[in-house]
Structure 1
Amino acid sequence: MSDHPSSPPPQVPDAGLWESIDGLCGWLDANRPVDGPDGLLLRILKLSEEVGEVAQAVIGATGQNPRKGTTHTWDDVRSELCDVAVTALLALRTLTPDAREVFTRHLDGVTRRSLDA
């Protein structure tokens, strides 16, 4: 029995999300300057860049750099987190045309492990 009976059941991500990811992946494929395995690795490494931008936004939103002060807002942090999610889904879609099924299956497993524990 779940410790979280009031938690809503996991939902399958919206189909429009995956249509957008497919479209963006196609656009990136058509416009990438590096092909082959290096292009794949660079697309995956883009995640590190995006995560760094989240860190920069958090530091800026909390004013942790005394020389710069408050340079970002929490809206900036939310936006950067969305960029991380999109970039991760694009990397997954680059690895497999079955990204939607892979992600949904993985999310279901994480949800079951976490909420049914």
Structure 2
Amino acid sequence: MTDDTWTTITRLHDWLTAHQDLPPGQEILLRVLKLSEEVGEAAQAVIGATGQNPRKGTSHSWADVEAELCDVVITALVALRTLTPDAPEVFATHLRRVADRSLSRDRPRPSVRGASEEPRTTEGR
């Protein structure tokens, strides 16, 4: 992530803080709850993009899903910034740990698909 990203996240955090009158300790709780709301909107967009609600049909595009996923990421980063002013360092350290744990191993990963099942692609969006 760039410094510009974290500057924007801090500005969004400061803007939200200035426009919310919350009791101490409630700010992080509400930011995490907002994250749950955004994840739900991403799920709704996937259901709409795949036409899985017979009543609504295809109500969303894959571009809508992309936008909702971006909202999830932004909301999570603002929540992290609410929890700690060291959010960029906390995130970078955690990302390195996850990458080291996941990418540095030479052993094969267990498959969650059956051997004959084809992987999904994003073709035809």
TM-score, with structure 1 as normaliser: 0.87
1:1-117 paired onto structure 2 within 5 Å: 13-117=1-105
Q: Indicate the RMSD between aligned Cα atoms, in angstroms.
A: 0.8
| 3-state secondary structure, aligned to 1:36 | coil
Aligned residues: 105
Answer yes or no: is the 8 Å Cα contact 2:32–2:76 preserved in 1. Answer: yes
- Structure 2 residue ranges without an equivalent (≥5): 106-125
Work out the CA distance in 1 between the residues paired with 2:21 and 2:45. Answer: 28
| 3-state secondary structure, aligned to 1:29 | helix
- 2:28 maps to a residue whose letter is L
Q: Give aligned-pair identity as a percent.
A: 61
- 2:25 maps to a residue whose letter is P
Q: Quick check: 42-51 or 30-39, which moved more?
A: 30-39
- Structure 1 residue ranges without an equivalent (≥5): 1-12
Task: Spell out structure 1 runs of 4+ moving beyond 3 A.
Answer: none
User: What displacement does 1:113 show?
Assistant: 0.6
